[in-house]
Amino acid sequence: MGIIYNQSEDIFHLQAKDSSYIMKVLETGHLAHLYWGRRLRDSNDFSELLNYKQRVLEPYLSKDNKDLSLDILPQEYPAYGRTDFRQPAYQIELENGSRITELKYQDHEIKQGKEKLAGLPATYVESESEAETLKITLVDEVAEIKVVLSYTVYEDFAAITRSAKLINTGQQSLELNRALSASVDFKDNDFNLLQLSGAWSRERHVKRRELEHGIQSIESTRGASSPYQNPFLALERKNSDEQQGEVYGFSLVYSGNFLAQVQVNHFEQTRVNLGINPFDFKWLLEAGESFQTPEVVMVYSSQGLNQMSQTYHKLYRTRLARGKYRDKVRPILINNWEATYFDFDEEKILEIAEAGKELGLELFVLDDGWFGSRDDDTSSLGDWYVDKKKLPNGVKGLGEKINDLGLEFGLWFEPEMVSKDSDLYRQHPDWCIHVPDRSRSESRNQLVLDLSREEVCDKLIEMLSDILDRAPITYVKWDMNRHLTEIGSAGLSAERQSETAHRHILGLYRILEELTTRFPEILFESCASGGGRFDPGMLYYMPQTWTSDDTDAVERLKIQYGTSIVYPLSSMGAHVSAVPNHQTGRVTSLDMRGDVAMFGNFGYELDLTELSATEKEKIKEQVAEYKEVRKLVQQGKFYRLLSPFSGNETAWMLVSEDKSEAYVAYYKVLAEPNAGFYRLQLQGLDPEADYKLVGEEQVYGGDQLMYAGLKLPETFNGMDHTKIEGDFRSYVWKLELLD
Ligand code: DGJ
């Protein structure tokens, strides 16, 4: 690992694990991109990687060098207006109305370790030796700006993190119209674009398209990363698959409006840009002020999509997520939402908790409806004090009773919101996001608090701290159930109104930083109508996220599979709920619901007091099994074997770092009449070692299981109709290394 600077050639060679990233300062001062891919030996001759020549219709900056048109030069942080017609990484308007800037190299520094990004979430190091950081300063002397590009390479990860800081070094005020985090130019367009798209209840489905000339992009304008598009994209070589070929991942560590864009030009050159969405964004940069962009985590894999995912998983699990629970196995929980919705009292809650204790569960989570006078979703958000009608002994009293039963106690909040029917709104009607002289659109009967205002953030910190201080709470579910409309702030001047959405996210991050620091013992789980804000920004503050409101086992196969493209299993909440399922009406077996939820942070979300004796026995078995495998689930290497987006079957598996244990699951959604004889090729085992399937006598070679495959069960052979297994089948196997 390391960052090598070749002074005579003015070349930077960044060597992350298994990969190289190379840049060069041209004689003109422009910072050109030379290469990103499989690791190269260092050489003096990287300049030959640059390839540009004069072309018809391409303007040049100087008659002395007509070959140099920025329109065809691969660059690191491209500007607008000086011969490059592609989408720039940034754009600034000067006081004289000019939007034209040009960045030239000034200097650089290389340091061990990685600095924090002020006020923003980012990956980190625990010791200086884990990573090295290069900071390149570019300047525009006319506009009097500096841009500092930061690149960090990790010793143990094929990852490079990037961000940019824009500084106004002059006397005039500047207007940032665009300030993206990173831009990477590829020499060709022989890629498929992979994105994670969806909607409420079907988040992060895997979508692919071939790159074409022009712009292809995904974005959010909703004030949250959203369930519709995730702040991530990958470019996959067309000859790649899960296990082989080159894949480039781009993941933005941000929770608000984003843009992830790919542009292919007339020479099939591909530019990838990521960052805060420039749409409806403007930032006033007064003399001396600076603007820090969020971080992009770029991962290179030469062994397919799965290896890219494994890099993200480990990096995000160990160097993005933080706090006491980062490395701890997570508790198995019971949440009352789908059991009671708003209709509960202390007695009902205690009955469910007691049943949970008998089944071996560890944490009771009280969901929405415990505060203000909230009997439905029309009131009380913002009034974070207990409803004594429902809970006469308060949250504290209930928490203590739950503790007495032998369970930990967790509580739901939706702090970023306010109901019109609330004391908070009556006292502070201007504390929500809004613009003058227009009605305030509602969504789920609520408005969004304006977190760009310091006093609003302070009040939330105070209200939440008060409850968390007083009651025995070890877990918080942090929900967020609407998007931003009429974006504006009563706390900002007219020329700063377009800063509201980003300032709102910065306010949210400040609140989260403060609360997670004040309450280090609490496990925070983020949620946004399920998985509507499942992004790396939130993961920095909260190590787990409620993956989706959709708990249907069949739908979950797609949701969890898609989420695993970037996010580790330790970040995914996965619960067993009742049937018919509340989102799809589908009836699946308790076995399949359990076998799907096992591959995440396990829990239940149903009325445990209504279970039959057989169901209780089954749940006890599931809980016992999860306790056995949870370390492997939460910290093992994840391999996707069969995709629910390609057919009727899904399979995935986990292998421990030392390859001594594995946990395999195979799901078949619809029954297949007269099925053939199928085997499942496993991954990640030690080919030289022997394994036994727990519960069986037979011993298998790791090589045999991977290359010949594991024999799949016969679901129906047509000879005996009483043995038909029907739809929605699942099978799991635990493998142990033989000594
Ligand atoms: C949306 C969440 O995703 C659900 O799990 C639940 O907490 C409800 N909100 C409560 O209003």
DSSP per-residue letters across 579-624:
SS-TTT-----HHHHHHHHTSSEEEEES-GGG--HHHHHHHHHHHH
The span from the CA of 341 to the CA of 359, in Å, is 22
The span from the CA of 348 to the CA of 346, in Å, is 6
Catalytic one among 549, 550, 552, 595? Answer: 549
Residue 47: the pLDDT is 95
Specify whether the CB–CB gap between 522 and 557 falls below 8 A.
Answer: no
Pocket mutation for ligand 1, best pick of 371, 381, 412 (most atoms within 8 Å of C-beta):
412
235 Cα–ligand 1 center, Å: 34
- pLDDT beneath 50: ranges in the chain: none
Looking from the CA of residue 528, the nearest atom of ligand 1 is 3
Residue 1: the pLDDT is 61
Pocket mutation for ligand 1, best pick of 478, 534, 549, 572 (most atoms within 8 Å of C-beta):
549
Residue 719: the pLDDT is 78
Residue 45: the pLDDT is 84
Count, residues in the chain: 739
Q: What is the 3-state secondary structure (H, E, C) of 612-634?
A: CHHHHHHHHHHHHHHHHHHHHHH
Looking from the CA of residue 605, the nearest atom of ligand 1 is 5
The span from the CA of 252 to the CA of 717, in Å, is 49
Token pair 């060069």 is at which residue? Answer: 24
Determine which helix (DSSP H) or strand (DSSP E) holds 689, and give its type and residue range. Answer: none
479 Cα–ligand 1 center, Å: 7
Residue 553: the pLDDT is 98
184 Cα–ligand 1 center, Å: 38
- CA dihedral for 74, 76, 80, 86, sign (positive or negative): positive
Of 614, 598, 615, give the one whose Cα is nearest residue 606.
615
Taking CA atoms only, the protein residue closest to ligand 1 atom 1 is 529
Strands (E), 39-94: 90-93
| Pocket-forming residues, ligand 1, beta carbon under 6 Å | 337, 367-368, 412, 479, 481, 527, 529-530, 546, 549
Active site residue 479: yes
| Residue 75 DSSP SS3 | strand
Q: Using the 8-state DSSP alphabet, how is residue 330 labeled?
A: P
Taking CA atoms only, the protein residue closest to ligand 1 atom 9 is 529
The span from the CA of 637 to the CA of 655, in Å, is 5
R_g of the chain computed on alpha carbons: 27
The span from the CA of 175 to the CA of 91, in Å, is 9
Neighbour-count burial for 442-472, b at 16+ CB within 10 Å, e otherwise = eeebbbbbbbbbeebbebbbebbeebbeebe
- CA dihedral for 538, 544, 549, 550, sign (positive or negative): positive
Structure tokens given for 137: 């300063």
Specify whether the CB–CB gap between 103 and 81 falls below 8 A.
Answer: no
595 Cα–ligand 1 center, Å: 23
Instruction: Estimate the crossing angle of helix 553-563 against helix 590-597, to 10 degrees.
Output: 10
Catalytic one among 383, 479, 550, 552? Answer: 479
User: Which residues are registered as beta bridge partners of 668?
Assistant: 649, 729
pTM greater than 0.85 (yes/no)? yes
413 Cα–ligand 1 center, Å: 10
Pocket mutation for ligand 1, best pick of 226, 335, 367, 475 (most atoms within 8 Å of C-beta):
367
Determine which helix (DSSP H) or strand (DSSP E) holds 389, and give its type and residue range. Answer: none
Determine which helix (DSSP H) or strand (DSSP E) holds 452, and give its type and residue range. Answer: none
